[in-house]
Amino acid sequence: MLPQELLTSFKNEALAEEAFKGLRLRKGVTCKKCGGRHHYWLASKKQFQCKQCRFRTTLQSGTVLQGSKLPVSYFFIGLQMLMEKGKRISIEEFQKETGHKYYDPLWDFVHKLKDYVRKNEPEVLEKDFTEVVDTYFVTHRQVS
């Protein structure tokens, strides 16, 4: 699938949330309260719940999206753009691609995303990202 087609498919928020959940599960979710590593998904709340203490963790908690009201799809759009452009994207490019009205939240998010990519091993990140994209976006697009 071409990068522009991927960016278009990333804008499906329901699919992006499902893919982000898959990415979180690949990495493992750790309970902030008891440290438990076994969770189940509460679809009605869009949260993980610890099997030990029943503490709930949101989809965005502990990620670059924590505390953000931006759509989950922005994570995939941003990572794809960073991978395409060698870790260099401007806020204006990102704003144009997402159609987001305000500059400030995008500035914060893109800087967090760049920091996330820098701190995580790029080859591992790219492998996980590629596998999740293939599983959720490419497969879904071929079925539709």
Closest CA relative to residue 78, chosen from 57, 63, 93: 93
Q: Is the per-residue pLDDT at 142 higher than 50? A: no
Mean pLDDT of the chain: 88
> Over the stretch 20-72, which tens digit does the pLDDT of each residue have?
999 999 889 999 999 999 999 999 999 999 999 999 999 999 999 999 999 99
Q: Which amino acid, one-letter code, is at 86?
A: G
Give the pLDDT score at 144. Answer: 44
Sequence spans of domains, the chain: 3-27+60-143
Q: Which amino acid, one-letter code, is at 7?
A: L
Percent of the chain with pLDDT over 90: 60
Read off the pLDDT band of 141 (50, 70, 90).
low
Alpha carbon 136 to its chain centroid, in Å, reads: 12
Q: Is the per-residue pLDDT at 8 higher than 90? A: no
Give the pLDDT score at 83. Answer: 82
Closest CA relative to residue 54, chosen from 43, 44, 40: 40
